[in-house]
Amino acid sequence: MTIRLFFVIGLAMLLLGCSKDQVKEEEPVEVTDLNADSAVDSSEDGAQTFGAEDESSSAFSQLDDPQSPLSVRIIYFEYDSSEIRSDYRSTIEAHSLYLQQNPNTSITLEGHADERGSREYNLALGERRAKTVKQQMLLLGANSSQIRMVSYGEERPASDDHDDASWQQNRRVEILY
Protein backbone atom coordinates (compact mmCIF):
# COMPACT_ATOMS: atom_id res chain seq x y z
CA MET A 1 0.00 0.00 0.00
CA THR A 2 2.61 2.50 1.13
CA ILE A 3 4.70 1.55 -1.79
CA ARG A 4 1.96 2.27 -4.26
CA LEU A 5 1.25 5.58 -2.57
CA PHE A 6 4.85 6.69 -2.93
CA PHE A 7 4.86 5.71 -6.49
CA VAL A 8 1.91 7.97 -7.09
CA ILE A 9 3.70 10.80 -5.30
CA GLY A 10 6.73 10.12 -7.40
CA LEU A 11 4.79 10.32 -10.60
CA ALA A 12 3.05 13.45 -9.45
CA MET A 13 6.36 15.06 -8.77
CA LEU A 14 7.58 14.07 -12.14
CA LEU A 15 4.61 15.77 -13.72
CA LEU A 16 5.14 18.88 -11.67
CA GLY A 17 8.74 18.95 -12.65
CA CYS A 18 10.85 18.38 -9.59
CA SER A 19 12.85 21.26 -8.31
CA LYS A 20 15.46 20.63 -5.68
CA ASP A 21 13.19 21.52 -2.77
CA GLN A 22 10.39 19.33 -3.86
CA VAL A 23 12.70 16.39 -4.09
CA LYS A 24 13.89 17.02 -0.58
CA GLU A 25 10.44 16.44 0.80
CA GLU A 26 10.40 13.10 -0.84
CA GLU A 27 13.51 12.01 0.98
CA PRO A 28 12.14 9.73 3.75
CA VAL A 29 11.30 6.08 3.68
CA GLU A 30 11.23 3.17 1.35
CA VAL A 31 12.37 4.89 -1.75
CA THR A 32 14.61 2.02 -2.48
CA ASP A 33 11.77 -0.47 -2.25
CA LEU A 34 9.74 1.69 -4.44
CA ASN A 35 12.38 1.69 -7.06
CA ALA A 36 12.88 -2.02 -6.91
CA ASP A 37 9.21 -2.83 -7.18
CA SER A 38 7.86 -0.39 -9.61
CA ALA A 39 10.69 0.68 -11.80
CA VAL A 40 9.23 -1.45 -14.54
CA ASP A 41 6.10 0.63 -14.57
CA SER A 42 7.80 3.95 -14.66
CA SER A 43 8.65 5.76 -17.80
CA GLU A 44 12.17 6.84 -18.56
CA ASP A 45 11.48 10.17 -16.97
CA GLY A 46 10.17 8.43 -13.90
CA ALA A 47 13.44 6.67 -13.43
CA GLN A 48 15.17 10.00 -13.49
CA THR A 49 12.90 11.27 -10.77
CA PHE A 50 13.71 8.39 -8.49
CA GLY A 51 17.39 8.93 -9.12
CA ALA A 52 17.09 12.10 -7.08
CA GLU A 53 17.06 9.96 -3.97
CA ASP A 54 20.82 10.29 -4.02
CA GLU A 55 20.29 13.70 -2.63
CA SER A 56 19.75 12.23 0.80
CA SER A 57 23.44 11.42 0.78
CA SER A 58 23.99 15.02 -0.39
CA ALA A 59 25.49 14.05 -3.75
CA PHE A 60 22.80 15.90 -5.61
CA SER A 61 23.78 19.38 -6.56
CA GLN A 62 22.39 22.27 -8.50
CA LEU A 63 24.55 21.14 -11.38
CA ASP A 64 22.23 18.22 -12.00
CA ASP A 65 19.11 20.35 -11.98
CA PRO A 66 17.79 20.72 -15.51
CA GLN A 67 15.89 23.87 -14.49
CA SER A 68 18.97 25.67 -13.28
CA PRO A 69 20.88 28.01 -15.60
CA LEU A 70 23.84 25.81 -14.64
CA SER A 71 22.41 23.13 -16.90
CA VAL A 72 23.46 25.19 -19.90
CA ARG A 73 26.97 23.93 -20.58
CA ILE A 74 27.57 25.08 -24.12
CA ILE A 75 28.00 28.65 -25.26
CA TYR A 76 27.71 29.21 -29.00
CA PHE A 77 29.46 31.92 -31.01
CA GLU A 78 29.13 33.82 -34.25
CA TYR A 79 31.51 33.23 -37.15
CA ASP A 80 35.12 34.27 -36.41
CA SER A 81 33.91 35.90 -33.21
CA SER A 82 34.66 35.35 -29.55
CA GLU A 83 32.09 37.81 -28.26
CA ILE A 84 29.64 36.35 -25.79
CA ARG A 85 26.07 36.84 -26.88
CA SER A 86 23.87 38.63 -24.35
CA ASP A 87 21.53 35.65 -24.01
CA TYR A 88 24.35 33.72 -22.32
CA ARG A 89 24.78 36.28 -19.57
CA SER A 90 22.64 34.42 -17.04
CA THR A 91 24.44 31.17 -17.84
CA ILE A 92 27.84 32.64 -17.19
CA GLU A 93 26.63 34.42 -14.07
CA ALA A 94 25.24 31.18 -12.68
CA HIS A 95 28.44 29.22 -13.32
CA SER A 96 30.57 31.99 -11.84
CA LEU A 97 28.41 32.11 -8.74
CA TYR A 98 28.53 28.36 -8.41
CA LEU A 99 32.33 28.37 -8.65
CA GLN A 100 32.49 31.15 -6.09
CA GLN A 101 30.29 29.17 -3.69
CA ASN A 102 32.18 25.94 -4.35
CA PRO A 103 35.83 26.94 -4.27
CA ASN A 104 36.98 23.33 -4.47
CA THR A 105 35.17 22.77 -7.74
CA SER A 106 37.01 23.36 -10.97
CA ILE A 107 35.97 23.36 -14.60
CA THR A 108 37.51 23.04 -18.03
CA LEU A 109 36.49 25.46 -20.74
CA GLU A 110 36.87 23.70 -24.06
CA GLY A 111 37.05 26.10 -26.99
CA HIS A 112 36.01 25.01 -30.49
CA ALA A 113 35.67 26.50 -33.95
CA ASP A 114 33.92 25.51 -37.15
CA GLU A 115 35.94 23.91 -39.93
CA ARG A 116 36.14 26.92 -42.24
CA GLY A 117 39.50 28.48 -42.87
CA SER A 118 42.78 27.32 -41.45
CA ARG A 119 43.20 24.80 -38.65
CA GLU A 120 45.87 26.62 -36.70
CA TYR A 121 43.97 29.89 -36.81
CA ASN A 122 40.91 28.03 -35.59
CA LEU A 123 42.92 26.58 -32.73
CA ALA A 124 43.76 30.12 -31.65
CA LEU A 125 40.15 31.20 -32.17
CA GLY A 126 38.90 28.35 -29.96
CA GLU A 127 41.26 29.45 -27.24
CA ARG A 128 40.19 33.05 -27.52
CA ARG A 129 36.56 31.98 -27.09
CA ALA A 130 37.43 29.98 -23.99
CA LYS A 131 39.45 32.88 -22.69
CA THR A 132 36.59 35.34 -23.15
CA VAL A 133 34.33 33.06 -21.14
CA LYS A 134 37.00 32.65 -18.48
CA GLN A 135 37.51 36.39 -18.14
CA GLN A 136 33.78 36.92 -17.71
CA MET A 137 33.67 34.25 -15.04
CA LEU A 138 36.60 35.79 -13.18
CA LEU A 139 34.88 39.17 -13.20
CA LEU A 140 31.79 37.52 -11.80
CA GLY A 141 33.53 35.89 -8.87
CA ALA A 142 35.19 32.66 -9.99
CA ASN A 143 38.82 32.10 -9.12
CA SER A 144 41.45 31.69 -11.84
CA SER A 145 42.70 28.43 -10.33
CA GLN A 146 39.25 26.90 -10.80
CA ILE A 147 39.25 27.30 -14.56
CA ARG A 148 41.35 25.29 -16.97
CA MET A 149 41.20 26.08 -20.68
CA VAL A 150 41.86 23.92 -23.68
CA SER A 151 41.24 24.67 -27.33
CA TYR A 152 40.61 21.96 -29.87
CA GLY A 153 40.04 24.38 -32.72
CA GLU A 154 38.09 22.58 -35.44
CA GLU A 155 39.47 19.16 -34.51
CA ARG A 156 36.57 18.05 -32.30
CA PRO A 157 33.40 19.08 -34.09
CA ALA A 158 30.05 18.45 -32.41
CA SER A 159 28.64 17.78 -35.86
CA ASP A 160 30.63 16.29 -38.74
CA ASP A 161 28.53 17.76 -41.55
CA HIS A 162 29.68 20.60 -43.74
CA ASP A 163 26.83 23.09 -43.62
CA ASP A 164 25.64 26.18 -41.75
CA ALA A 165 23.68 24.18 -39.18
CA SER A 166 26.73 22.11 -38.26
CA TRP A 167 29.05 25.07 -38.22
CA GLN A 168 26.72 26.80 -35.78
CA GLN A 169 26.90 23.84 -33.43
CA ASN A 170 30.66 23.65 -33.73
CA ARG A 171 31.50 27.25 -32.83
CA ARG A 172 31.29 26.77 -29.09
CA VAL A 173 32.79 26.72 -25.65
CA GLU A 174 31.89 23.69 -23.55
CA ILE A 175 31.81 24.07 -19.78
CA LEU A 176 32.97 20.78 -18.30
CA TYR A 177 32.71 20.04 -14.57
Partner 1 sequence: MKTFIKLSFIYFLLLPLKTYAVLDIKITQGIEEPIPIAVAIFGWSQASSVAPIDMSQIITADLTRSGRFDVMDVQDLPQSPTEFDAINFSDWRKLGMENIVIGNLVLTKSGNYDVSFRLIDIYRKKQIAGFRIPAKPNLLRRVAHQISDIVFEKLTGIEGAFNTRVAYITVKKENKKKIHALHIADADGYNIKKLVESSEPLLSPSWSYDGKKIAYVSFEGKSSSVFIQDILTGSRTRVSKFEGINSSPNWSPDGAHLALTLSKDGNTEIYIMDLTTKSLKRITKHDGIDTEPVWSPDGQKLVFTSDRSGSPQIYEVVIKNGTPKRLSFEGTYNARPRYSPDGKSITLVHSVGNSYHIAVLNLDNGYISVLTDGPLDESPSYAPNGSMVIYATTGRRGGQLAAISVDGRIKQRLGLHQGDVREPAWGPFLK
Contacting positions for partner 1 (CB under 8 A)? 80, 115-121, 123-125, 127-128, 131, 149-153, 155-156, 162
Cβ proximity to partner 1, 89 vs 148, nearer residue: 148
Cβ proximity to partner 1, 73 vs 128, nearer residue: 128
Min dist CB 119 to partner 1, Å, is 6
Residues 6+ apart with CB under 8 A from 61: none
Give whole-number Cα distances, 159 to 83, 117, 125, 164, in Å. 22, 17, 18, 11
DSSP of 69-92 = GGG--EEE--TT--PPPGGGHHHH
HSE (CB half, 13 Å, CA atoms) of 154?
A: 17
Cβ proximity to partner 1, 73 vs 131, nearer residue: 131
Cβ proximity to partner 1, 74 vs 149, nearer residue: 149
| Residue among 150, 141, 155 at smallest CA distance from 173 | 150
Distance (Å, whole) CA 79 – CA 130: 15
Q: How many CB atoms lie within 10 A of CB 78?
A: 10
Min dist CB 78 to partner 1, Å, is 14
Min dist CB 76 to partner 1, Å, is 19
Cβ proximity to partner 1, 81 vs 101, nearer residue: 81
Min dist CB 116 to partner 1, Å, is 6
Min dist CB 170 to partner 1, Å, is 13
